[in-house]
Structure 1
Amino acid sequence: MRLIPVLTAILVMAFLFVLVVERDTLRAFAAGETAQPAGNSSSTDAETTSAETNDVGDTAQASKKVRVVAIHSQARMVDSAVVLRGETEANREVQVRAETGGLVVSEPLRRGTHVDRSQELCRLEAGTRTAILAEAQARFAEAKARVPSTAATVAEAEARLEEAMINDNAARKLSEGGFASSTRVASAAASVRAAEASVQAARSGLETTQAGIESAQALVAAAQRDIERLVITAPFEGLLESDTAELGSLVQAGSLCATIIQLNPILIVGFVPETAINRVNVGALAGAQLSTGEQVRGQVTFVSRSADPLTRTFRVEVAVPNDDLRIRDGQTAEIYIASDGAEAHLIPQSALTLNDEGTLGVRMVGEGDLVEFAAIEVLRDSAEGIWIEGPPKDANIIVIGQEYVEEGVAVLPFYEEPA
Structure 2
Amino acid sequence: MRLISFVNAVLVIVALYFLVFERDALFAFAGRGDDQENTAAETASVTETLAENAIGVVAVRSQAREIGSAVQLRGQTQANRQVEVLAETVSTVLSEPKRKGAFVEAGDLLCELDPGTRPASLAEAKAALLEAESRVPEAEARLQESHARLAEAEINLVAARKLSETGFGSETRRISSEAEMSSAKAGIKSAEAGLEATQAGIEAAQAAVAAAQREIDRLTIEAPFKGLLESDTAELGSLMQPGSLCATVIQLDPIKLVGFVPETEVNRIIVGSMASAQLVTGLQVEGRVTFLSRSADETTRTFEVEITVPNPDLQIRDGQTANIQIAAEGVKAHLLPQSALTLNNEGNLGVRTVGTGDVVNFMPVHLLRDTAEGVWVGGLPETTDVIIVGQEFVTSGVTVAPTYREATQ
TM-score interval, smaller chain: 0.7 to 0.9
- Paired position in structure 2 for 1:351: 341
Shift in Å at residue 258 of structure 1?
Answer: 0.6
Contact kept? 1:82, 1:380, Cα under 8 Å: no
Q: Is the alpha carbon distance of 1:352 and 1:45 closer, same or farther for their aligned partners in structure 2, counting shifts above 3 Å?
A: closer
Q: Normalising by structure 2, what TM-score?
A: 0.80
- Which secondary structure does the structure 1 equivalent of 2:267 belong to? helix
In the TM superposition, what are the counterparts of 1:9-24 in structure 2 within 5 Å?
A: none
Say which of 165, 170, 174 aligns to 2:163.
174
2:315 matches 1:326: yes
Shift in Å at residue 217 of structure 1?
Answer: 0.3
- Which secondary structure does the structure 2 equivalent of 1:203 belong to? helix
- Paired position in structure 1 for 2:399: 412
In the TM superposition, what are the counterparts of 1:5-84 in structure 2 within 5 Å?
A: 51=41, 54-56=44-46, 71-84=60-73
Higher alpha-carbon deviation: 248-257 or 305-314: 305-314
Contact kept? 1:95, 1:258, Cα under 8 Å: yes
Q: Which runs of 5+ in 1 are unaligned?
A: 1-43
- Paired position in structure 2 for 1:125: 114
Contact kept? 1:88, 1:269, Cα under 8 Å: yes
- Paired position in structure 2 for 1:141: 130
- Paired position in structure 2 for 1:13: none
2:105 matches 1:116: yes
Say which of 285, 289, 294 aligns to 2:283.
294
Higher alpha-carbon Rg: 1
Q: Percent identity?
A: 55
- Paired position in structure 2 for 1:209: 198
Shift in Å at residue 393 of structure 1?
Answer: 0.8
In the TM superposition, what are the counterparts of 1:247-262 in structure 2 within 5 Å?
A: 247-262=236-251
In the alignment, the residues of structure 1 paired with residue 43 and residue 185 of structure 2 have an alpha-carbon distance, to the nearest angstrom, of 135
The letter for the 2-side match of 1:242 is: S
Q: Deviations over 1:315-372 (max 9, x none)?
A: 222222211112111122222323333321124377365897x987666554453746
Say which of 175, 179, 183 aligns to 1:190.
179
In the alignment, the residues of structure 2 paired with residue 187 and residue 98 of structure 1 have an alpha-carbon distance, to the nearest angstrom, of 68
Say which of 233, 238, 252 aligns to 1:263.
252
In the alignment, the residues of structure 2 paired with residue 285 and residue 155 of structure 1 have an alpha-carbon distance, to the nearest angstrom, of 74
Shift in Å at residue 49 of structure 1?
Answer: 8.6
2:229 matches 1:244: no
- Paired position in structure 2 for 1:394: 383
In the alignment, the residues of structure 1 paired with residue 36 and residue 163 of structure 2 have an alpha-carbon distance, to the nearest angstrom, of 162
- Which secondary structure does the structure 1 equivalent of 2:196 belong to? helix
Alignment length (residue pairs): 370
2:294 matches 1:305: yes
In the alignment, the residues of structure 2 paired with residue 177 and residue 359 of structure 1 have an alpha-carbon distance, to the nearest angstrom, of 122
- Which secondary structure does the structure 2 equivalent of 1:322 belong to? coil
Q: Is the alpha carbon distance of 1:354 and 1:319 closer, same or farther for their aligned partners in structure 2, counting shifts above 3 Å?
A: farther
Q: Deviations over 1:48-99 (max 9, x none)?
A: 8975565457768999x99998653221232322332222111111111112
Contact kept? 2:333, 2:378, Cα under 8 Å: yes
Shift in Å at residue 274 of structure 1?
Answer: 2.6
Q: Is the alpha carbon distance of 1:359 and 1:162 closer, same or farther for their aligned partners in structure 2, counting shifts above 3 Å?
A: farther
Shift in Å at residue 243 of structure 1?
Answer: 0.7
Q: Is the alpha carbon distance of 1:278 and 1:218 closer, same or farther for their aligned partners in structure 2, counting shifts above 3 Å?
A: same
Say which of 145, 158, 176 aligns to 1:156.
145
Q: Is the alpha carbon distance of 1:298 and 1:158 closer, same or farther for their aligned partners in structure 2, counting shifts above 3 Å?
A: same
In the TM superposition, what are the counterparts of 1:370-389 in structure 2 within 5 Å?
A: 371=361, 373=363, 376-389=365-378
Shift in Å at residue 161 of structure 1?
Answer: 1.0
In the alignment, the residues of structure 2 paired with residue 255 and residue 94 of structure 1 have an alpha-carbon distance, to the nearest angstrom, of 13
Q: Deviations over 1:126-177 (max 9, x none)?
A: 1111111111111100000000111111111111111111111111121111
Contact kept? 1:245, 1:258, Cα under 8 Å: yes
Shift in Å at residue 294 of structure 1?
Answer: 1.9
Contact kept? 2:92, 2:114, Cα under 8 Å: yes
Q: Deviations over 1:256-308 (max 9, x none)?
A: 11101111111222222233333322222222222122222222222222222
Contact kept? 1:303, 1:317, Cα under 8 Å: yes
In the alignment, the residues of structure 1 paired with residue 69 and residue 145 of structure 2 have an alpha-carbon distance, to the nearest angstrom, of 89
Say which of 92, 98, 102 aligns to 2:91.
102
Contact kept? 2:77, 2:255, Cα under 8 Å: yes
Contact kept? 1:77, 1:343, Cα under 8 Å: yes
- Which secondary structure does the structure 2 equivalent of 1:91 belong to? strand
- Paired position in structure 2 for 1:3: none
In the alignment, the residues of structure 2 paired with residue 353 and residue 245 of structure 1 have an alpha-carbon distance, to the nearest angstrom, of 63
The letter for the 2-side match of 1:208 is: A
- Paired position in structure 1 for 2:26: none
Q: Is the alpha carbon distance of 1:365 and 1:183 closer, same or farther for their aligned partners in structure 2, counting shifts above 3 Å?
A: farther
- Which secondary structure does the structure 2 equivalent of 1:254 belong to? coil
Contact kept? 1:364, 1:396, Cα under 8 Å: yes
- Which secondary structure does the structure 1 equivalent of 2:233 belong to? coil
Q: Is the alpha carbon distance of 1:334 and 1:150 closer, same or farther for their aligned partners in structure 2, counting shifts above 3 Å?
A: same
- Which secondary structure does the structure 1 equivalent of 2:253 belong to? coil
Q: Normalising by structure 1, what TM-score?
A: 0.78
Q: Is the alpha carbon distance of 1:194 and 1:50 closer, same or farther for their aligned partners in structure 2, counting shifts above 3 Å?
A: closer
